[in-house]
Structure 1
């Protein structure tokens, strides 16, 4: 990317050059990496914008930013740390070194927990969209007949003198035109932002969730954001850097401290005496990589993400065992413990739950079909 080259560095040229450079150096997902860095440098939030403006020359500060990003990516640094954020479900989450990067597997953990809460606690029901349609009744039939009569009259006039009756000028050509276009006669898209937000069904009660090891805060913030008024969370982490970042993400997402209460401390240590046995769900994505496996994980994870959030001990279940022990004192009767774990540890995790007197123990799969989550209920 020498400045001596007279050809301007357009978005398209920079994208192609960066992709080729990453491919030669063996950088994982070279095209995606180049797109992320360019979007970060230009401020675009969609890849389609890069394609639509591929002839747009980059400004000096944009070129400097992408050069710096290329250098960091070649060293193996995760894209999320370079750009400073990532998408997690419906939220844009700040990321920074020292705090674990949210994963797609954890997005599905949130989905499973929401399904449980909807079914067993909150009674959340997404309202059906309002139907916008023509009133296909006697009025419409009368309109149709009147239109046919008008067409017949018009045809007779044309046959008589070949001149168009001015009284028909501007009349609709069909009943659909008179009332609404075909596009207006279908159900409103459920995802239409103009529609009211879904609300808890009635009767319902608010769910209380405790998240252990919150990191960026992505789990608790997603639960609260996707079930407004229905879910409140206490989220703990032993890392001051994680709590600080989660607080900034909470502000970024416009969620109040009363809804997601972030607390510094070890596991359930920050739970207050009056809160014991008051939570419906204990959810966690704890450190779960077996120590012996850490050397085999990708360089960009092993050498850049915090070991504290990765190392799960000899079998990956060191923290999980402590969560199982804490569950009866943290959860209500028949409360749910929901954890994401290493795929090779799920059977042992289920046995730990059963031996602890928990019931309805389930092993759930991730999107690739691998065992990834254990759900169990207190007695």
Structure 2
């Protein structure tokens, strides 16, 4: 078969099971099998492929047909313009999370901060991207999952950041507290989906992405409560705590931060107009309370 023929067959297989990205997914998987870029695939439809390549490609198409996320099959995901290694066992980085990273990078540059912590790090995408765009930073990645930390380590090495980024097994910030570590910024995209909502998620998510990275408890707020409380022991005065949040969690997360003692709290919306990021500054008790919604232009 040639490229054109095998792609038409793949399109039909994926379209039949209502995979909306059937065109792109098929092209990306064939690119991986042939070890050619997407442009080659697009302009060389008469290029003949071997039987072995055909079988390998159709095997991957069957895996995608079963709704395994394309990023897991490819083994990579682009985030902040960087190609991160991803594997089953870590959450796939989402474009919305780039808003969180961009806000933290901006804050670090304004304040000249150096010591950063990424808690619930997963693949390490958030902390590693921060380190890549801020050459003076030192970043610690925490996760309770050994599987996640193994992927984080691969990504640290991929971007040659071992001198400034390290990963450590920890139940949220417990290791940092026990070692009396101090950070100027704590950033987190914690699990925040309500337990009852998880069965309603897309098959790609609920059947393949790790439950530990999705389940935020009965109300989706378990990790915000714990991180807000634990951060008080390791965040420097004037330091920043930044969360990604669900679109409907702004009020609840702001209240959690207020109860923990945070004073200056901002909410940033994503490009779709949904509440996406909460930034909170740890200041003296005498400071004026400021809770200000901000829209990302």
Query: TM (normalized to structure 2)?
Result: 0.91
Equivalent residue, structure 2, for 1:231: 137
Give SS of 1:343's match: coil
Which residue, 105, 117, 120 being the options, matches 1:210?
A: 117
The answer to whether 1:369 aligns with 2:276 is no
The answer to whether the 8 Å contact 1:315/1:345 transfers is: no
The answer to whether the 8 Å contact 1:209/1:282 transfers is: yes
Equivalent residue, structure 2, for 1:349: 253
The answer to whether 1:331 aligns with 2:208 is no
The answer to whether the 8 Å contact 2:173/2:231 transfers is: no
Which residue, 294, 301, 307 being the options, matches 2:198?
A: 294
**Runs of 5+ in structure 1 lacking a partner?**
1-8, 123-206
Q: 1:77, 1:307 → 2: CA distance?
A: 15
The answer to whether 1:83 aligns with 2:74 is yes
Count of equivalent residues: 283
The answer to whether 1:111 aligns with 2:102 is yes
The answer to whether the 8 Å contact 1:209/1:231 transfers is: yes
Give a deviation string over 1:232-289, Cα, whole Å, max 9, x none: 1000110011111111111122211x3111001211122265653x211100110000
The answer to whether the 8 Å contact 2:99/2:277 transfers is: no
Give SS of 2:217's match: coil
Which residue, 201, 208, 220 being the options, matches 2:127?
A: 220
Q: 1:158-307 to 2 correspondence within 5 Å?
A: 207-228=114-135, 230-256=136-162, 258-271=163-176, 275-276=180-181, 278-307=182-211
The answer to whether 1:33 aligns with 2:25 is yes
Q: 2:273, 2:56 → 1: CA distance?
A: 39
Q: 1:376, 1:32 → 2: CA distance?
A: 39
The answer to whether the 8 Å contact 2:101/2:129 transfers is: yes
**Runs of 5+ in structure 2 lacking a partner?**
284-297
Q: CA RMSD of the aligned region, Å?
A: 1.5
Q: CA deviation at 1:14?
A: 2.0
The answer to whether the 8 Å contact 2:188/2:243 transfers is: yes
Q: 2:62, 2:126 → 1: CA distance?
A: 31
Cα 1:303–1:52, aligned 2, differ >3 Å: closer, same or farther?
A: same
Q: CA deviation at 1:20?
A: 2.6
Give a deviation string over 1:70-105, Cα, whole Å, max 9, x none: 111111111111111111112211111111111111
Q: CA deviation at 1:312?
A: 0.3
Equivalent residue, structure 2, for 1:43: 35
The answer to whether the 8 Å contact 1:95/1:101 transfers is: yes
The answer to whether the 8 Å contact 1:90/1:222 transfers is: no
Q: CA deviation at 1:210?
A: 0.4
Query: TM (normalized to structure 1)?
Result: 0.72
Equivalent residue, structure 2, for 1:74: 65
The answer to whether 1:99 aligns with 2:90 is yes
The answer to whether the 8 Å contact 2:224/2:256 transfers is: no
The structure number with the bigger radius of gyration is 1
The answer to whether the 8 Å contact 2:10/2:58 transfers is: no
The answer to whether the 8 Å contact 1:327/1:378 transfers is: no
Give a deviation string over 1:329-357, Cα, whole Å, max 9, x none: 11110111111121111211011111222
Q: 1:12, 1:359 → 2: CA distance?
A: 60
Q: 2:36, 2:263 → 1: CA distance?
A: 49
The answer to whether 1:358 aligns with 2:262 is yes
